[in-house]
Structure 1
Amino acid sequence: MTRIETPWGPWQAVTVTRAAELFAHLGAPWFVAGGWAIELAVGGPVREHADIDIMLLRRDQGRLHDVLPGWDIHAADPPGTLRPWPRHEVLPSGVHDVWCRPAADEPWRLQVMLDESIGDRWVSRVDARVTRPVASLRNLTPDGIPYLTPEVQLFYKSRHTRPRDETDFSAVLPYLDGRQRSWLDDALALTAPDHAWRRRLRDSPM
C-alpha cells in the first residue's frame, strides 16, 4: 500500500487480505467498508485507496482490543482530535472513528468505523429512520471476506459525493440489482430527496 502523510502521522494501510486475517476471530459481525467495499463488490480495481476501513457495530467495540492486542489504538474525538483509547473505555455515540497501528512509531494501518444497532437491526448513524437487519449488511467475496453491501456504503457516500464517491457510484451502479437500487432510492428519498443519484438509480440499465 502507498504511504501517505497526515497531520497525525503517516498512513500505510494493510491489504484487504491482511485485514481479514486480523479480524477472522473477532466473534462478531465486521465488514470491509469504504472504497474497498465498492471494489470488492465490483470484483476488480476501481481507484487508488489511501486507507482501509473496517466497520463494526458499536456494541462490539471492546472486541477490537482483543483482535489487535498490543496495538496503538486511538479514538477520533470530533472535530479532528486523535487521542489514545484505553481498553476498558466505552466510546460514546459521538465517536465513531478509530485509528489503529501496531506501535506508536509505525504508520497507521487501518481505520475502524463504529455503527449503531438496536437488537438485530442496523441503524444508520446518519439518520435513524434508515435501518435494516444486521445480517443483510454482509456480502462475501469468493474467498470469504465480508464486505459492506454496496447500497449501504453508497448511502454513506451520498452525504458528500466527493469525486471519489462519484467514481465509486459509477463503478458499482451496473452491479446493483433492483432490490439494492430500490433500497438506496428509498433511503435517499428520506434523507436527500433531490439527490442526483436517484435518477441514475432508476434510469441506468442493470
Structure 2
Amino acid sequence: MRTDLDNWMPISVTEINNIFAEIPISWCIAGGWALDLHLGKQTREHSDIDVVIYRYEQQVLYQSLKENWVLYKAQNGKLIPWEAGEFLTSINDVWVSRNTDAPWSFQIMIVNSENNEWIYRREKSIKGAKNKLFLRTNDGIPYIKPEVQLLYKAGSSEIREKDFKDFQNILPHLVLEEREWLKSSLKTQFADGHNWIGYL
C-alpha cells in the first residue's frame, strides 16, 4: 500500500500517446490536459495527467503495462497494488508509477459502458455514444470532449479553484450544442441547481 498521494512527476502528453498508441483499446487524455488539448495551448501547470479507458478493456491494459509499470487501485483513500487477474468491478481510479518507490507518472480513470454507450457513473441516466466521447488533436492524440470533461469537474463533491478556471477558459470555445448538453446534464445531476448553469 502507498500513501504518498502528492508524490507526482507526471509524464508528458506525448509520452502517454506513445505508450497507449501501442495498446489495442479505446483510450483518451482526460482532466485539465484534455481541455488544453482542445484549446491547442497550455493554460496552466498540471500536477498530474489522466487517461480514460473503458472498464471492459481493463485486462488488456493491465497486461500491456505490467512489464514496465506498477499499478495501484485507489480504494477508500488508499492506493493498493492491483493484482494480476483481478477485475476491478467498482474501482474507477488506478495510479501508475515506474516502480514501488517512484513518483506517480499517470492516472487511469475507468468509465463504464453498456452496448455502444458510455455511462456517467454519478448519474447513470447521463450517457452518450462511445464513438463520440473522444475528439482528436491535429496530431491524432485522443482526448475527452470538453463538455464531458467539464461535467466530471462540475459533478464532483468539491469544485476546486482550478476546475472553475478550466471552465472559464473553455466556456467561450463551447459551441451551442456543447453548452446545451452540459447544461442539461448538470440539471439532471443537480435537481436543486448548480452554479455553473447560469454561466451556460
Q: TM-score range by the shorter chain?
A: over 0.9
Superposition pairs of residues 18-167 of structure 1, within 5 angstroms: 18-70=15-67, 71-77=69-75, 79-93=76-90, 95-159=91-155, 160-167=158-165
Which residue is 1:195 aligned to?
194
- The structural deviation recorded for 1:8 is 4.4
Work out the CA distance in 2 between the residues paired with 1:68 and 1:137.
24
Which residue is 2:10 aligned to?
13
Which residue is 1:177 aligned to?
175
Q: How many residues align?
A: 194
Indicate the SS of the match to 1:31.
strand
Q: Provide structure 1 residue ranges, at least 5 long, that are not aligned to the other structure.
A: 1-5, 202-206
Q: Contact conserved, 2:54 with 2:110, CA < 8 A, in 1?
A: yes
Which residue is 1:186 aligned to?
184
Work out the CA distance in 1 between the residues paired with 2:43 and 2:99.
31
Work out the CA distance in 1 between the residues paired with 2:50 and 2:64.
16
Q: What is the TM-score normalised by the length of structure 1?
A: 0.90
- The structural deviation recorded for 1:66 is 2.9
Work out the CA distance in 2 between the residues paired with 1:87 and 1:64.
11
- The structural deviation recorded for 1:177 is 0.6
Q: What is the TM-score normalised by the length of structure 2?
A: 0.93
Taking a change above 3 Å as real, the CA distance of residues 108 and 190 of structure 1, as seen in their structure-2 partners, is same
Q: Contact conserved, 1:74 with 1:100, CA < 8 A, in 2?
A: yes
Q: Contact conserved, 2:25 with 2:61, CA < 8 A, in 1?
A: no
